[in-house]
């Protein structure tokens, strides 16, 4: 217990260093490095480089190979980019399902159970609203746009469908008759 | 009867025959010529020989199902815009002389000018089709010829409802071959409750499009 601290230092250092170093180094390094490095480098480098260079090159090569290989491996569940036009699934006809689809998860925007190829949503007008607007849904026997679509982000009620909800297909998607790649065990309440 | 009167009457008969023959020949040439000329104006090639037709209505039509589709049947401009039967066709052709006047004046020869008039022009066509029970559509599409069981559920129901309600093609199928006008609001176009036939009764009393007066 009463030994001088200098005697105990060799035993303490391994324990203290990991705790001290992170605190000291950031403060010491900016002062030390600019002075120490220019002096140390010419002496250290000739000894290190012959041994490190082959490893450095090898490492870079391995990383490069892994990188390109990784890019090739990265793909969708279908095995290729979802926009690949050669995909037969992309060219499948849109399903027309009377009565609509069951939702696949809680609060899913209802999926579109009919083809929409010939309707446009653009600057001029929104073709969906021809049947799904509050003014027309009854005559067309169609589901109406939900009330939530008539509020802007500040909670103010809008006269027409709110601009942020105008592009229906951002959330509502038509479906092709493709076999699901992942099983869904969600049960509608 | 004497020989002279016999000869006279036979000459007269010959002359009559000649007059008739020549008359028929001239008639065929003129009538054929007239019809050939009229048919020549009844081709897509003729329609788009005018710049305003080619850059505006033709251009946008090439994106639609009446231009390209799975069966390879194409409806060209006159199939929808010129009546097939002779009387209505000639009436339409006479009306088209007014289009010549506006062509020469260059009233719609740029997309911008055309866009300014689109609502008025579209309403002209819609009103006309409403009035004729979509006569030109029915050259190809008839309720009687539809197999409702082969149609998609929505179409099948829609067509049967429309037939029962006495509606016509254009009541629902606006903007299928051309872009819809900016002022067209689908919410005001519920089948049977459309507000877009205003020009039906007063074809020249246009108040909805500013600056669209002829």
Q: Per the domain annotation, does A113 fall within a domain?
A: yes
- Give the lowest-confidence range in A78-92, A144-158, B34-48: A78-92
Give the predicted TM-score (pTM) of the model: 0.69
- How many other CB atoms are found less than 10 A from the CB of residue B72? 6
Number of other residues whose CB lies within 10 A of the CB of residue A181: 10
Among all residues of chain A, which has the CA nearest to that of B183? A124
Q: How confident is the model at residue B206 (pLDDT cuts 50, 70, 90)?
A: very low
CA angle, residues A104, A140, A175, in degrees to nearest 5: 30
ipTM of the shown complex: 0.71
User: What is the pLDDT at residue B14?
Assistant: 92
Q: Which of A62-66, A104-108, B26-30, B156-160 has the lowest mean pLDDT?
A: A62-66
Report, as an integer, the average pLDDT of B178-189: 90
Of the candidate ranges A26-40, A97-111, A160-174, B182-196, the one whose mean pLDDT is the lowest: A26-40
| B202: Cβ contacts below 8 Å, ≥ 6 apart | none
Lowest mean pLDDT among A28-42, B7-21, B60-74: A28-42
Q: SS3 breakdown of chain B: % helix, strand, coil, rounded to 5? A: 60, 0, 40
pLDDT at position A71 over 70 = no
Task: Tell me: do A96 and A165 sit in the same domain.
Answer: yes
What tokens does A104 get? 């696949």
Q: How far apart are CA A189 and CA B55, in angstroms?
A: 54
pLDDT at B202 (0 to 100): 46
How far apart, in whole angstroms, are the C-alpha atoms of residue A171 and residue A149? Answer: 12
Enumerate the residues of chain A whose CB falls inside 8 A of the CB of residue B195. none
Does any domain span residue A28? yes
pLDDT score at B3: 64
- Can you give the CATH number for the domain in which A129 is found? 1.10.1130.10
Residues A97, A170, single domain; the answer is yes
Across all residues in chain B, what is the average pLDDT?
Answer: 87
Query: Which stretches does DSSP call E strand in chain B?
Result: none
- Cβ of B190 within 8 Å of Cβ of A96? The answer is no
Three-class DSSP category at B25? helix
Asked if A135 and B188 come within 8 Å (Cβ–Cβ), the reply is yes
Please say if the pLDDT value at position B211 is more than 50: no
| Structural domain boundaries, residue A56 | 13-74
Smallest CA-to-CA distance from B169 within B198, B209, B203, B140 is with B140
Asked, for residue A63, whether it belongs to a domain, the answer is yes
Indicate if the pLDDT at residue A72 is higher than 60.
no
Range of weakest confidence among A63-67, A166-170, B127-131, B188-192: A63-67
Half-sphere exposure of B43 (CA within 13 A, CB side): 8
pLDDT at A28: 66
Cβ contact B186–A127 (<8 Å): yes
For the cut 70, the answer to whether the pLDDT of residue A44 exceeds it is yes
Does residue A120 sit in the same domain as residue A69?
Answer: no
**Shortest CA gap B82–chain A (Å):** 25
- Closest partner residue to B65 among A118, A130, A138, by Cβ? A118
The pLDDT score that the predictor gives to residue B212 is 38
Percent of chain A with pLDDT over 70: 74
| Nearest residue in B to A161, CA atom | B187
In angstroms, the separation between the Cα of residue A88 and the nearest Cα of chain B is: 17
B contact test, residue of A113, A136, A160, A177 with most B CBs within 10 A: A136
Reported confidence tier of residue A66, pLDDT bands at 50, 70, 90: low
Polymer length in residues for chain A = 189
Q: Name the domain boundary from A74, A105, A122.
A: A74
User: Of the residues A43, A74, A105, which one is the last residue of a structural domain?
Assistant: A74
Q: Are residue A36 and residue A67 in the same domain, yes or no?
A: yes
Q: What percent of chain A has pLDDT over 90?
A: 25
DSSP B176: S
Across the interface, whether the CB atoms of B190 and A125 are under 8 A apart is answered: no
Tell me which of A49, A74, A99 is where a domain ends.
Answer: A74
Residues A32 and A97 in one domain: no
- Chain B residue with Cα closest to A144: B187
Q: Residue A181 falls within a domain, yes or no?
A: no
Measure in Å the smallest separation between the Cα of A126 and chain B Cα atoms: 7
Please report whether residue A168 resides in a domain: yes
Question: Per the CB < 8 Å rule, is B152 touching A129?
Answer: no
Contacts of A135 in chain B (CB under 8 A): 187-188, 190
Residues A65 and A100 in one domain: no
Which burial class, exposed, middle or buried, applies to B11 when counting CB atoms under 10 A from its CB (0-12, 13-18, 19+)?
Answer: exposed
Q: What is the pLDDT of residue A43?
A: 77
Domain count, chain A: 2
Distance from CA of B36 to the nearest CA of A (A): 37
């Amino acid at each position: 217990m009463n030994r001088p601290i200098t005697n105990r230092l060799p035993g303490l250092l391994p324990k203290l260093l990991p705790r001290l170093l992170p605190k000291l180094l950031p403060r010491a390094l900016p002062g030390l490095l600019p002075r120490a490095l220019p002096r140390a480098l010419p002496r250290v480098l000739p000894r290190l480089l012959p041994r490190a260079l082959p490893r450095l090159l090898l490492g870079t090569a391995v990383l490069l190979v892994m990188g390109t290989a990784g890019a090739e491996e990265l793909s969708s569940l279908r095995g290729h980019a979802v926009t690949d036009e050669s995909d037969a699934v992309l060219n499948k006809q849109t399903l027309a399902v009377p009565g609509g689809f069951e939702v696949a998860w809680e609060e899913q925007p209802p999926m579109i159970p009919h083809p929409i190829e010939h309707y446009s949503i653009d600057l001029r007008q929104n073709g969906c609203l021809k049947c799904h607007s509050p003014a027309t849904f009854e005559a067309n026997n169609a589901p109406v746009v939900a009330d939530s679509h008539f509020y802007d982000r500040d909670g103010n009620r809008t006269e027409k469908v709110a601009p942020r909800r105008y592009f229906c297909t951002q959330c509502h998607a038509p479906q092709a008759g493709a076999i699901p790649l992942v099983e869904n065990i969600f049960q509608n309440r | 009867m004497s020989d002279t009167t016999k000869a006279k009457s036979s000459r007269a008969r010959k002359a009559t025959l000649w007059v008739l023959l020549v008359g028929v020949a001239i008639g065929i040439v003129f009538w054929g010529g007239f019809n050939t000329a009229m048919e020549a104006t009844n081709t897509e090639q003729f329609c788009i020989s005018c710049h305003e037709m080619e850059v505006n209505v033709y251009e946008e039509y090439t994106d639609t199902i009446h231009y390209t589709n799975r069966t390879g049947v194409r409806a060209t401009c006159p199939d929808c815009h010129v009546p097939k039967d002779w009387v209505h066709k000639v009436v339409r052709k006479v009306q088209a002389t007014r289009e010549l006047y506006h062509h020469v004046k260059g009233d719609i020869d740029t997309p911008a000018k055309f866009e300014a008039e689109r609502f008025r022009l579209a309403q002209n066509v819609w009103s006309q089709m409403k009035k004729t029970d979509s006569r030109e559509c029915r050259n190809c599409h008839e309720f009687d010829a539809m197999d409702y069981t082969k149609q998609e559920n929505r179409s099948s129901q829609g067509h049967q409802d429309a037939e029962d309600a006495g509606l016509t093609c254009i009541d629902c199928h606006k903007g299928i071959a051309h872009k819809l006008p900016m002022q067209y609001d689908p919410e005001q176009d519920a089948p049977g409750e459309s507000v877009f036939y205003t020009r039906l009764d007063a074809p020249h009393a246009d108040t909805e499009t500013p600056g669209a007066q002829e």
